[in-house]
Chains A and B, each alone.
Chain A
């Protein structure tokens, strides 16, 4: 399928992170025109709404609609906050934007800030991205020196300050309310919603939080028009006039696990997942067993589902999973899913912020029970218990981290129950240090 590359077009260009190189291909032209008075803020929001752009951080919420939620005629300052915390296991795409095209992100920040009339924008970058932060800080400095940022952006009289803010190591700070709390100088605890950031965000002021990739799309959309963007990808209107499939544009996928060519690829939404694996990732290494389509918080897909699912938000939902952050992890036949789930539950129990008892205790119990199963000390009761604990966690917590642990857990057990049962044998089933079975066939006496 032919489509314009929106995000990754300039990744190979030498010194692309320098402003003169970026400007030589027109970066900042649109922002200059817009701030110069060519378009109103509402115009920009309308254009982004028309494009159909959905958030690329995880939940897929329509970006233009989110901007439209800010209260009108509110005297408080407004903030744009960019989520560059990128820490969902399997996800490494925002990093590529920060490294290869920071000015695309900065121009996106200028346009989005103008659209929501924010005069301060914070880019919250995970602390481990020391290298990426230094590239981004330098790019921001360059934009200040050119007069594109500051008290008088492009000589338009518009005031915008962009500040790169470093996190300090905490997965939970990727959750938008935790990110805001952290940005305020606190422990990164999520806050109850409502109130939503749109009305009570950073410093209790109206705030938009968007992912890096989401905002990096904005210059292209404003330059070429929302219509041009919405031509890419898949959009199907049903008989009732409402969209049945609303997955427009391109998105960055990041692939890892049992594939021949891991990497970040820009794809048009709507292609088949298997097509993506075969054409962009060099195919499956070994025999396909399962895949996690959008970061570790997404329910797992069986091999058959991988072959039938399309890369749209809707098709993912139909298959009981989510597009999430675009982090695809492919698993092959020899890999033990009990070992995989154990690895992920350790992650969630480690990263739970501990505010809510069901999440703090629940993630830890799940991890411990899985540890027991892995050693071959599990029973049918344990499987029931796991599902029971999951039920008791969901909907009883402040943020979605708990569900990010329980939804996958349930899917692994429901879709691969036999494999979990095969572990109910003394000593379990030995695996190597990469989670691959030493004896591919379950030992005798395993079946219950």
Chain B
């Protein structure tokens, strides 16, 4: 058998599953725990999460595939997502995207050959007053970007 949670993660799961009157409601939080451990959701992880909640594996896939933050394919060590929605677009999001494509030598949707960076676009991330912005690995926001600032950030990501 493929995958199971580490003891610490299993502990977190045991707590969170008590927070809902129906087990199924814990599915998305459980998928998050798996993605936190693995960086993406391979079929074994989907099957494992489903099993924990007495669901069919296909259910976990069906739900996970609805949400853009779940990675159903491996991504680079740093997944960079640039917001391209109106407020950011008005203040230079596409210039930032052009710059990232040039710097990384890849197009949106691609991963660098060394597996370090994946470049994606995103829709409004609620930083409209501090655009342009990008998010790294679904966690850190970098706001008020300029091409120079992007270079600094890329250099700081080991």
Interface residues of A (CB under 8 A from B): 77, 86-92, 94-95, 120, 126-131, 161, 163, 165-171, 182-188, 203, 254-258, 262-264, 296, 327, 329, 331, 335, 340, 343-344, 347, 350-351, 433-435
The total of interchain contacts (Cβ-Cβ below 8 angstroms) comes to 147
The answer to whether the Cβ of B119 comes within 8 Å of any Cβ in the partner chain is no
Complex Cα spacing A183 to B90, Å: 34
Tell which of A86, A166, A187, A344 has the most Cβ of chain B within 10 Å.
A187
Q: How many residues of B contact A (CB 8 A)?
A: 46
Note all chain A residues with C-beta closer than 8 A to B89: 343, 434-435
| Given A130-B138, A169-B68, CB of A254 within 8 Å of CB of B85 | no
Note all chain A residues with C-beta closer than 8 A to B73: none
Complex Cα spacing A298 to B85, Å: 15
Q: Assess whether A203 is in contact with B22, with CB atoms less than 8 Å apart.
A: yes
Q: Assess whether A433 is in contact with B69, with CB atoms less than 8 Å apart.
A: no
Which of B1-9, B26-34, B110-118, B149-157 touches A?
B26-34
Q: Which 3 pairs of residues, A with B, have the shortest CB-CB distance?
A: A168-B67, A169-B69, A169-B68
Q: Assess whether B123 is in contact with A171, with CB atoms less than 8 Å apart.
A: yes
Q: Assess whether A129 is in contact with B90, with CB atoms less than 8 Å apart.
A: no
Q: Assess whether A256 is in contact with B128, with CB atoms less than 8 Å apart.
A: yes
Q: Is the interface of B mostly helix, strand, loop or mixed?
A: mixed
Complex Cα spacing A127 to B24, Å: 18
Note all chain A residues with C-beta closer than 8 A to B68: 168-170
Q: Assess whether A131 is in contact with B95, with CB atoms less than 8 Å apart.
A: no
Interface residues of B (CB under 8 A from A): 19-22, 24-29, 31-32, 53, 62-63, 66-70, 84-87, 89-92, 94-95, 98, 122-131, 135, 138-141
Partner of A185, one of B26, B95, B128, B129: B26
28 CB-based A-B contacts, threshold 8 Å: A87-B124, A90-B86, A127-B138, A128-B122, A128-B138, A130-B140, A161-B19, A163-B20, A167-B28, A168-B31, A169-B67, A170-B66, A171-B123, A184-B24, A188-B66, A254-B129, A255-B129, A256-B87, A256-B129, A256-B131, A264-B129, A296-B85, A329-B90, A343-B85, A347-B86, A350-B123, A433-B94, A433-B95
| Given A171-B123, A262-B130, CB of A89 within 8 Å of CB of B86 | yes
Distance in Å: Cβ of B14 to nearest Cβ of chain A? 15
Q: Assess whether A89 is in contact with B128, with CB atoms less than 8 Å apart.
A: yes
Complex Cα spacing A206 to B20, Å: 16
Distance in Å: Cβ of B70 to nearest Cβ of chain A? 6
Of chain A, the residue at the smallest CB distance from B60 is: A185
Note all chain B residues with C-beta closer than 8 A to A131: 139-141
Note all chain B residues with C-beta closer than 8 A to A166: 28-29, 32
Complex Cα spacing A95 to B66, Å: 24
Of chain B, the residue at the smallest CB distance from A264 is: B129
| Given A92-B128, A170-B66, CB of A296 within 8 Å of CB of B26 | no
Partner of B126, one of A87, A183, A351: A87
Partner of A89, one of B21, B25, B67, B123: B123
Complex Cα spacing A383 to B128, Å: 30
